[in-house]
Amino acid sequence: MKKTRAVQGPFVHELILNRDRVASFDKYPYSLPPIRSLSRLKLHPQVTFLIGDNGTGKSTLLEAIAVAAGFNPEGGGRNFNYSTRASHSSLGDHLTLVKGTSSPRDSYFLRAESFFTVATQIEIMDREAGGGPPIINSYGGVSLHEQSHGESFMALLVHRLGGGGLYLLDEPEAALSPQRQLALLRRMHELLQQGSQFIIATHSPILMAYPDASILQFSAEGIARTEYQETEHYQVTKMFLDDPERMLALLMAPDDQY
Ligand SMILES: Nc1ncnc2c1ncn2[C@@H]1O[C@H](COP(=O)(O)OP(=O)(O)O)[C@@H](O)[C@H]1O
Ligand SMILES: [Mg+2]
């Protein structure tokens, strides 16, 4: 009997920036410190979190990984080839992905900010499609526009993501209540047990607690690996929740007392 090889991550071990092909490190996106100092970046076989302040380049790098992996840079599955924006950065064309021995059987690039566009695109493709089951069936069957942002996100995570996949998520917590973020952790765990790999840009101290993960901190110094309890997200949230009254009093004190 012929044996089929199990699909198993990691699908991407490492990123290499082909620096000699970059014309100038003075322009976006190459001027961003994490990109300017990038040569090789190792990814965790299960979960890699990209964290750091707003504007440090997390989405830029995630989008470039999506391009290098053959995804639509605007989000969606690999068969989504629509385009609503004029351009994405050329970074993806200069990235080499060091791949594992198997290819993912599933893939998805989830961008919180363009999920609305994906939902619309599904409706358009289902209206135009001849034959074949509607795409919305693989998202649970209910139009993503007829659910709340959080509900449609969860529908995607539960129904559309099938395991054995490479999943790129950009701030998936944006639409999710704390309770649903816990549900996302659980769903990630299931998908990881089915041989998936995640790369996730996040600000959520709940999500970044996933134990089998590497946390990469983006900053003006570049990209550095850090530990969960060392992250600003963990420390600030903990300090606040340990004593909200004290933190609020400090924040709201007149300038000369601060
Ligand atoms: N198309 C673009 N052209 C020029 N600058 C951009 C473009 N897109 C994003 N930027 C800038 O690059 C920086 C990093 O953006 P982004 O990757 O979205 O950050 P993050 O996801 O970490 O918040 C920001 O300062 C942003 O203003
Ligand atoms: Mg971003």
Question: For residue 185, what are the contacts with CB-CB under 8 A and spacing of at least 6?
Answer: 206, 207, 209, 210
Q: What's the rounded Cα separation, in Å, for the pair 206 and 132?
A: 39
pLDDT at 1: 46
Ligand nearest to C-alpha 55: 1
Spatial CA neighbour of 9 closest among 231, 178, 194: 194
Q: How many angstroms is it from 140 CA to the middle of ligand 1? A: 33
Domains of the chain: 12-226 (3.40.50), 231-258 (no CATH)
Quote the tokens at residue 233.
Answer: 């997200």
Residue nearest (by alpha carbon) to ligand 1 atom 5: 28
Q: Strand, helix or coil at 75?
A: coil
pLDDT at 79: 64
Please say whether the beta carbons of 104 and 197 come within 8 A: yes
Give this prediction's pTM: 0.90
Whether ligand 1 lies within 6 angstroms of the CB of 202 is answered as no
Helices within the chain (DSSP H only): 33-36, 58-68, 115-128, 149-155, 178-193, 232-242, 244-252
Q: How many angstroms is it from 173 CA to the middle of ligand 1? A: 19
pLDDT at 84: 57
Q: Across the chain, where does the E strand assignment appear?
A: 12-17, 40-42, 47-52, 95-99, 106-111, 165-170, 197-201, 213-219, 222-226
Residue nearest (by alpha carbon) to ligand 1 atom 2: 28
pLDDT at 2: 46
Whether ligand 1 lies within 6 angstroms of the CB of 180 is answered as no
Q: How many angstroms is it from 57 CA to the middle of ligand 1? A: 6
pLDDT at 9: 66
> What's the DSSP call for residue 76?
B
Whether ligand 1 lies within 6 angstroms of the CB of 58 is answered as yes
pLDDT at 3: 47
Spatial CA neighbour of 110 closest among 143, 148, 152: 152
Whether ligand 1 lies within 6 angstroms of the CB of 32 is answered as yes
Tens digit of each residue's pLDDT, the chain (258 residues): 444 445 666 899 999 999 999 999 999 999 999 999 999 999 999 999 999 999 999 999 999 999 999 887 767 776 666 665 545 778 999 999 999 988 999 999 988 777 777 788 888 888 887 778 888 888 888 888 888 888 888 888 888 899 999 999 999 998 899 999 999 999 999 999 999 999 999 999 999 999 989 999 999 999 999 999 999 999 999 999 999 999 999 999 987 665
- CA-CA distances (angstroms) from residue 14 to 32, 38, 87? 20, 12, 25
